[in-house]
């Protein structure tokens, strides 16, 4: 127990005085400390008085100890803090903090005023979240006493997604620390020293050149307006917030959506998401508002009349779709399920295909995800990864196979960085577009990876394994296993994790997965994680949709909730249900406008099996409805009993079976012809995100991801 301001409070070993105080509800002002970051001790505002300790130690770096007696608010301390804060404010535009008219002004000028430069007053985008203001209020500082020493640094606005105005930077170092210590990227650093210290890049190059991954972690920890998200910086205070699970990739990060004017305004990683632990990526952090506020949203139900689509009301659209679908035999109808719909919608679509349409084919619209899920089910009896992402935190070796994580699952870098800092070996087979791939201990470029993988697995296999034979059998010009010895040594008998990504698609994916699972993942302490590309493939698979049968090329009627796969050419009647307008609209006979991520309710399942709630923060555009509601109305239109969400509740996930080699290899069937992965890595409901988000286009072009 520790005594803080006369209050006896408990603490856990390893906690600092600041942490103990914060948990006990005692406020100690601070600007440089952050719950996600190791203590730094730079701002000097959290100085406290501790009995029998010389001077005034900072609460953020002093470990709490039994029988410690701490005072946080004596007059001496507050005077010193005020004096330090005044010094900080002498180099930070401060009229918004110390102006005598502040209270009145804020009553009438609610939103900050757009301005290129922050010079104080109402011109700062961080007005609503500025931590300096909070500290100034606490310390009751209402005069600065110095003329403003304005650094006059140029504004840095040449990079996508966020802008930098280091004239308001107070050098707390949170951005530098989060980028280096948490993300392992180090796209920014302290440069120069003393009064000339500035956060910046090597030789002042742009963030695009400097290897920034635009995850936005720096923006989110910045206590001032120095760093701000370009698209949303002037939106002011959100009216509404909701915790939801991002479905722009398979990780399922918990994010906080912020809404205003019935639109999604911003999206910020949630502090305690099970898969992302407070971190995010360029997609979830910056792409949600521009994507879902895009002008290409579908707003009204459309029905094709005399060759052209015309807006109609919902009843007419549903009736038209039901009428059309009823014309076909069940065997002639295919349902193509988007990997971004909720678990509930997936369940209902499954019911629709089985019970209402009497056995229409239904398939997940995601090439890699369906293949990987189906293959893993045939290997383990349970579709999906054999462990959770947290397995990376315990691994001694991480084997990344065919996964360009920097593009497809950027947030996983955080765990890889932590693993490497712990001393785990990171082995990377296949493509990487990470411009700053400091994480990797052994890198095997794409051209060589298949043979090295085969070699590694052969070394690891104690006896001949079917999986290995299947893999190595496919190697033309297979010459040797250079480097395989080092890799197999790093993996043998270790706690290991294999991360398998979409990059295996062109190279006999089923054989690769089988061999990996059979030889490596089957060993004790090893997990195999499938890096599912899409938001809710796992959930849709769990709803029973994956791997039942393939979509027929000759289906006559199609009900599509996604639009990425190539549509069977022969379809006579097409019902499209999507949030975005796309080329497919031209082939549709009926179009249902559906809601998107920030408008949805329900649950989704992360690629490692976490079922999370999806909550809305805004309304959809026009007459758009939730997918589940549309399906439900369609079922009714087809004469079935109206389904509701409660009847769509998920059953329990199947329990994973321990790996065994009881399966016949024949299950794998023939290899699909090598099909290159699409250039653009990220889709939502079949829509290329980069197409809708201009800054993402800039970023991907710069990295050479898209032409």
Report the residue from 119, 191, 294, 523 that binds other proteins according to the rule CB under 8 A.
Answer: 191
Q: For other proteins, give the closer residue by CB, 90 or 119.
A: 90
Q: For other proteins, give the closer residue by CB, 18 or 584.
A: 18
Q: For other proteins, give the closer residue by CB, 90 or 294.
A: 90
Task: Output the smallest distance, CB 290 to other proteins, in A.
Answer: 28
DSSP assignment letter at 35: T
Report the residue from 441, 469, 489, 548 that binds other proteins according to the rule CB under 8 A.
Answer: 441
- Based on its alpha-carbon atoms, the radius of gyration of the chain, rounded to whole angstroms, reads 28
Q: Does 424 bind other proteins (CB under 8 A)?
A: no
CB 403 within 8 A of CB 501: yes
Which residue, 639, 374, 644, is CA-closest to 532?
A: 374
Q: For other proteins, give the closer residue by CB, 56 or 392.
A: 56
Dist. CA 127–CA 623, nearest whole Å:
35
Q: How many Cα atoms occupy the beta-carbon half-sphere of 398 within 13 Å?
A: 31
Report the residue from 18, 21, 26, 43 that binds other proteins according to the rule CB under 8 A.
Answer: 43
Report the residue from 114, 140, 193, 295 that binds other proteins according to the rule CB under 8 A.
Answer: 193
Dist. CA 707–CA 702, nearest whole Å:
9
Q: Does 440 bind other proteins (CB under 8 A)?
A: yes
Q: For other proteins, give the closer residue by CB, 436 or 601.
A: 436
Report the residue from 18, 21, 56, 557 that binds other proteins according to the rule CB under 8 A.
Answer: 56
DSSP, collapsed to helix, strand or coil, labels residue 189 as: strand
Q: Does 195 bind other proteins (CB under 8 A)?
A: yes
Q: Interacting stretch for other proteins, rule CB under 8 A, among 38-46, 117-125, 560-568, 574-582? A: 38-46
Q: For other proteins, give the closer residue by CB, 417 or 472.
A: 417
Q: For other proteins, give the closer residue by CB, 416 or 591.
A: 416
Compute how many other C-beta atoms are within 10 angstroms of the C-beta atom of residue 150. Answer: 14
Task: Output the smallest distance, CB 674 to other proteins, in A.
Answer: 20
CB 208 within 8 A of CB 159: yes
Task: Output the smallest distance, CB 679 to other proteins, in A.
Answer: 22
DSSP assignment letter at 331: G
Report the residue from 3, 61, 122, 525 that binds other proteins according to the rule CB under 8 A.
Answer: 61
Report the residue from 74, 109, 113, 202 that binds other proteins according to the rule CB under 8 A.
Answer: 202
Residue with tokens 């001790």: 41
Report the residue from 22, 390, 436, 601 that binds other proteins according to the rule CB under 8 A.
Answer: 436
Report the residue from 74, 109, 113, 197 that binds other proteins according to the rule CB under 8 A.
Answer: 197
Q: Going residue by residue from 472 to 491, which x/- string records binding to other proteins, judged by CB under 8 A?
A: ----------xx--xx----
Report the residue from 44, 350, 459, 564 that binds other proteins according to the rule CB under 8 A.
Answer: 44
Q: For other proteins, give the closer residue by CB, 107 or 195.
A: 195
- Cα torsion 187, 189, 192, 197: sign: positive
Q: Interacting stretch for other proteins, rule CB under 8 A, among 202-210, 500-508, 562-570, 590-598? A: 202-210
Residues 287-326 that bind other proteins (CB under 8 A): none
CB 435 within 8 A of CB 535: no
Helical (H) or strand (E) element with 163? strand 162-164
Q: Does 181 bind other proteins (CB under 8 A)?
A: no
Q: Does 551 bind other proteins (CB under 8 A)?
A: no
Give the number of residues in contact with other proteins, rule: CB under 8 A: 63
Q: Return the structure tokens found at 387.
A: 């462990």
Q: Going residue by residue from 445 to 474, which x/- string records binding to other proteins, judged by CB under 8 A?
A: x-xxx--x----------------------
Q: For other proteins, give the closer residue by CB, 249 or 399.
A: 399
Report the residue from 24, 63, 271, 565 that binds other proteins according to the rule CB under 8 A.
Answer: 63
Report the residue from 97, 124, 170, 229 that binds other proteins according to the rule CB under 8 A.
Answer: 170
Q: Interacting stretch for other proteins, rule CB under 8 A, among 116-124, 441-449, 496-504, 592-600? A: 441-449
Residues in CB range of 629: below 8 A, 6 or more apart: none
b/e code 248-281 from CB counts within 10 Å (16+ = b): bbbbbbbbbbbbbeebbbbbbbbeebbbbbbbbb
Residues 139-158 that bind other proteins (CB under 8 A): 145-146, 149
Residues 73-102 that bind other proteins (CB under 8 A): 80, 83-84, 87-88, 90-91
Helical (H) or strand (E) element with 364? strand 361-364
Dist. CA 491–CA 498, nearest whole Å:
10
DSSP, collapsed to helix, strand or coil, labels residue 166 as: helix
CB 46 within 8 A of CB 61: no
Q: Interacting stretch for other proteins, rule CB under 8 A, among 190-198, 218-226, 281-289, 529-537? A: 190-198
DSSP, collapsed to helix, strand or coil, labels residue 379 as: helix
DSSP assignment letter at 58: B
Q: Does 171 bind other proteins (CB under 8 A)?
A: yes
Q: For other proteins, give the closer residue by CB, 76 or 671.
A: 76
As a three-state string, the secondary structure of 194-253 is: HHHCEEECHHHCCHHHHCCCCCCHHHHHCCCCCEEECCCCCCCCCCEEEEEECCCCCCCC
Q: How many Cα atoms occupy the beta-carbon half-sphere of 390 within 13 Å?
A: 6
Task: Output the smallest distance, CB 39 to other proteins, in A.
Answer: 8
Mark residue 264 as left, alpha or beta (left: phi above 0; alpha: psi -120 to 50; beta: remaining): beta
Q: For other proteins, give the closer residue by CB, 429 or 597.
A: 429
CB 598 within 8 A of CB 703: no
Helical (H) or strand (E) element with 635? helix 627-637
DSSP, collapsed to helix, strand or coil, labels residue 500 as: strand
Angle at 287 between CA 624 and CA 124, to 5 degrees: 110
Residues in contact with other proteins by the rule CB under 8 A: 39, 41-44, 47, 55-58, 61-63, 80, 83-84, 87-88, 90-91, 145-146, 149, 170-171, 173, 180, 185-197, 200-203, 205, 210-211, 436, 438, 440-445, 447-449, 452, 482-483, 486-487
């Amino acid at each position: 127990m520790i005594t803080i301001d006369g209050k006896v409070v408990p603490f856990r070993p390893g906690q600092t005085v600041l942490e103990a105080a914060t948990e006990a509800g005692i406020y100690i002002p601070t600007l440089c400390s952050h719950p996600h970051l190791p203590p730094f001790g730079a701002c000097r505002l959290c100085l406290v008085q501790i009995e029998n300790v010389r001077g005034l130690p900072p609460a953020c770096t002093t470990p709490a100890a039994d029988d410690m007696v701490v005072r946080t608010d004596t007059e001496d301390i507050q005077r010193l803090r005020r004096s330090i804060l005044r010094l900080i404010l002498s180099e930070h535009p401060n009229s918004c903090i110390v102006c005598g008219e502040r209270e009145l002004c804020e009553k009438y000028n609610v939103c900050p005023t757009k301005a290129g430069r922050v010079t104080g007053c109402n011109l700062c985008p961080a007005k609503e979240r500025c931590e300096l203001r909070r500290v100034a209020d606490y310390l009751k500082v209402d005069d600065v006493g110095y003329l403003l020493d304005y650094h006059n640094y140029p504004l840095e606005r040449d990079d996508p997604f966020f802008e930098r105005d280091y004239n308001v930077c107070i050098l707390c170092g949170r951005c530098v620390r989060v980028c280096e210590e948490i993300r392992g990227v180090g796209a920014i650093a302290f440069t120069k020293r003393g009064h000339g210290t500035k956060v910046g890049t090597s030789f002042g190059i742009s963030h695009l050149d400097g290897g920034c991954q635009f995850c936005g972690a720096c923006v989110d920890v910045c206590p001032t307006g120095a760093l701000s998200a370009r698209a949303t910086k002037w939106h002011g205070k959100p009216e509404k917030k909701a915790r939801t699970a991002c479905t722009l990739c398979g990780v399922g990060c918990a994010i906080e959506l912020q809404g205003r004017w019935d639109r999604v305004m911003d999206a910020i990683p949630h502090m305690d998401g099970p898969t992302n632990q407070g971190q995010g990526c360029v997609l979830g952090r910056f792409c949600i508002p521009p994507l879902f506020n895009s002008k290409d949203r579908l707003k009204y139900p459309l029905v094709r009349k005399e060759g052209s689509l015309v807006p109609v009301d919902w009843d007419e659209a549903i009736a038209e779709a039901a009428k059309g679908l009823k014309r076909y035999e069940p065997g002639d109808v295919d349902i193509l399920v988007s990997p971004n719909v909720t678990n509930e919608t997936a369940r209902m679509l499954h019911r629709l295909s089985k019970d209402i349409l009497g056995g229409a084919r239904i398939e997940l619209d995601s090439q890699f995800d369906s293949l990987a899920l189906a293959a893993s089910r045939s290997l383990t009896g349970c579709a999906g990864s054999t462990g959770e992402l947290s397995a990376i935190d315990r691994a001694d070796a991480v084997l990344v196979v065919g996964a360009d994580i920097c593009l497809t699952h950027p947030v996983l870098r955080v765990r890889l960085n932590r693993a490497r800092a712990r001393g785990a070996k990171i082995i990377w087979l296949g493509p990487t577009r990470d411009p700053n791939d400091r994480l990797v201990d052994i890198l095997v470029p794409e051209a060589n990876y298949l043979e090295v993988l085969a070699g590694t697995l052969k070394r690891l296999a104690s006896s001949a394994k079917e999986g290995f034979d299947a893999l190595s059998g496919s190697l033309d010009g297979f010459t040797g296993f250079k480097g395989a010895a080092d890799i197999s040594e790093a993996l043998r008998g270790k706690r290991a994790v294999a991360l398998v990504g979409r990059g295996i698609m062109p190279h006999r994916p089923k054989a690769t997965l089988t061999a990996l699972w059979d030889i490596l993942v089957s060993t004790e302490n090893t997990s195999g994680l499938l890096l599912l590309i899409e938001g809710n493939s796992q959930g849709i698979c769990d709803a029973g949709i994956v791997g039942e049968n393939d979509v027929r090329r000759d289906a006559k009627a199609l009900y599509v909730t996604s639009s990425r796969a190539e549509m069977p050419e022969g379809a006579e009647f097409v019902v499209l249900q999507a949030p975005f307008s796309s080329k497919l609209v031209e082939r549709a006979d009926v179009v249902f406008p559906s809601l998107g991520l920030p408008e949805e309710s329900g649950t989704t399942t992360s690629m490692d099996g976490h079922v999370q709630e999806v909550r809305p923060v805004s309304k959809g555009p026009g007459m758009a409805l939730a997918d589940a509601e549309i399906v439900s109305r369609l079922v009714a239109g087809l004469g079935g009993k109206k389904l509701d969400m409660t009847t769509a509740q998920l059953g329990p996930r199947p329990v994973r079976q321990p790996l065994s080699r009881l399966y016949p290899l024949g299950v794998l069937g023939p290899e699909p012809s090598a099909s290159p992965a699409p250039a653009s890595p990220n889709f939502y409901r079949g829509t290329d995100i980069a197409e809708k988000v201009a800054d993402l286009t800039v970023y991907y072009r710069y990295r050479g991801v898209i032409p």
